[in-house]
Amino acid sequence: MSEPLGVAVLGAGHMGADHVRRLGGAVGGARVVAVADPDTARAEAAVAGRVAVYGEPLAALEAPGVEAVLVASPEAAHEEALLAACARGLPVFCEKPLAADSAAALRVVEAEARLGRRLIQVGFMRRYDAEYAALKTLLDSGDLGRPLLLHCVHRNVSSPPHFTSSMLISSSVSHEIDAARWLLGQEITAVTVVRPTPSEGAPAGLLDPQLVLFETAGGAVVDVEIFVNCGFGYEVRCEAVCERGSARIGEAGAMVVHAAGRACGDVPQDYVVRFADAYDREVRAWVAAAREGRAVGPSAWDGYAAAVVAEAGVASLRDRARVGVGLAGRPALYGERGGS
């Protein structure tokens, strides 16, 4: 394909507008040809009048020149858009979550499996972060022996007004769910959520922070501190503890200045800043694959598995109990390992 890939962007909110900007500059080989959002004024602002704007996502899929779809709409709209794209044979990049719940995610998996080829890439951008990629390469090499533990930290400055206690798991920890499955190459088999006393900085009624424990099919244990109202910055860290050593990422990315008897450095304030390069890399990989009629990166199965684990985590939070994870049979299209 010599011409740029024509992309319809569904959703013009924070992430959708950021992807419109990315496709128009940082990512080559593609151009936005349509944008859909119920708030058409917001969509117009995102594209500055350069492309067609639609109030309905399915109308955007029929726009002239659409060859691929980027879904950044609210999760309740994902299933319809993904099924429509699959029916049209259009490659799709879908921001996480894959769908509103695991049942909807499974319907998407089954629809893609019936096609017999992958069309969907899910937006778990940490797989494209340079530090996470280096850790994955190290663990896969076996130089440190078998991974036994992953210690993860995920902190936000503050949570949006609509954030609920269960969303700490379903929205925020979903990234650690995918990262753990991918880094270890194992499915998660059980989840336990521990509820500390909420921080004074958390809105009334929000259980923040939480400690989430994952058990995996290979016997590893993953702990995740999720704290979405820490007040000082956006931090994501991960340490892998293996049989013959350990490796830690997420601490050395920013410059540290030593002066006047003090050491200080900047702390990113949100995920768009911390993972800016990863977002560029993942969309660049999607465009390159879509231009060749294929899909790479996190699959619809990965999105489904994350949804199932997240629902188990929400149940554990509610019931204060360890909850097992049960996945449907994995279609041959997605291979055999966890975190494909």
What tens digit of pLDDT does each residue of 158-217 get? 999 999 999 999 999 999 999 999 999 999 999 999 999 999 999 999 999 999 999 999
276 vs 188 pLDDT, higher one: 188
In a domain, 312, yes or no: no
- Answer yes or no: do 73 and 162 share one domain: no
In a domain, 283, yes or no: yes
- Answer yes or no: do 165 and 241 share one domain: yes
Rounded CA-CA distance 288/177 in Å is 26
- Answer yes or no: do 135 and 238 share one domain: yes
Rounded CA-CA distance 188/222 in Å is 9
In a domain, 179, yes or no: yes
Confidence band, pLDDT 50/70/90 cuts, at residue 71 = very high
pTM of the model: 0.93
In a domain, 137, yes or no: yes
Task: List the domain range (segments joined by +) for residue 218.
Answer: 130-271
- Answer yes or no: do 102 and 52 share one domain: yes
Rounded CA-CA distance 165/126 in Å is 23
Confidence band, pLDDT 50/70/90 cuts, at residue 255 = low
CATH number at residue 13: 3.40.50.720
110 vs 233 pLDDT, higher one: 110
In total, how many domains does the chain have?
A: 2
- Answer yes or no: do 23 and 52 share one domain: yes
- Answer yes or no: do 99 and 215 share one domain: no
Average pLDDT over residues 211-229: 98
First to last CA, the chain: 27
For residue 141, pLDDT beyond 80: yes
pLDDT of residue 265: 65
User: Each residue of 306-324: pLDDT tens digit?
Assistant: 999 999 999 999 999 999 9
- Answer yes or no: do 80 and 117 share one domain: yes
Torsion angle, alpha carbons of 187, 170, 165, 315, to 10: -50
User: Each residue of 87-130: pLDDT tens digit?
Assistant: 999 999 999 999 999 999 999 999 999 999 999 999 999 999 99
CATH number at residue 217: 3.30.360.10
Which of 110, 67, 77, 73 lies closest to 95, judged by CA?
73
Confidence band, pLDDT 50/70/90 cuts, at residue 336 = confident
Q: Mind giving me the DSSP string for 55-113?
A: SSHHHHHTSTT--EEEE-S-GGGHHHHHHHHHHTT--EEEESPSSSSHHHHHHHHHHHH
Return mean pLDDT, the chain.
93
For residue 260, pLDDT beyond 70: no
In a domain, 330, yes or no: no
- Answer yes or no: do 157 and 263 share one domain: yes
Average pLDDT over residues 262-285: 79
In a domain, 243, yes or no: yes
- Answer yes or no: do 160 and 246 share one domain: yes
Question: Who's near 330: CB < 8 A, 6+ residues apart?
Answer: 301, 336
pLDDT of residue 271: 67
- Among residues of the chain, what percentage have pLDDT more than 90? 84
In angstroms, the Cα distances linking 279 to 15, 61, 139, 154, 235 are 10, 23, 23, 18, 17
- Answer yes or no: do 267 and 134 share one domain: yes
Angle 289-295-301 (CA atoms, 0-180°, nearest 5)?
160
In a domain, 189, yes or no: yes
Bridge partners for 93 per DSSP? 70, 121
For residue 65, pLDDT beyond 80: yes
In a domain, 195, yes or no: yes
For residue 1, pLDDT beyond 60: no
Confidence band, pLDDT 50/70/90 cuts, at residue 238 = very high
Token pair 């929400």 in the structure block, residue: 314
- Answer yes or no: do 136 and 86 share one domain: no
Confidence band, pLDDT 50/70/90 cuts, at residue 224 = very high
Most confident of 19-33, 40-54, 152-166: 152-166
Average pLDDT over residues 273-283: 89
Average pLDDT over residues 29-54: 92
Average pLDDT over residues 267-278: 76
For residue 15, pLDDT beyond 60: yes
- Answer yes or no: do 16 and 116 share one domain: yes
Q: Which helix (H) or strand (E) holds 193?
A: strand 188-194
Average pLDDT over residues 1-23: 91
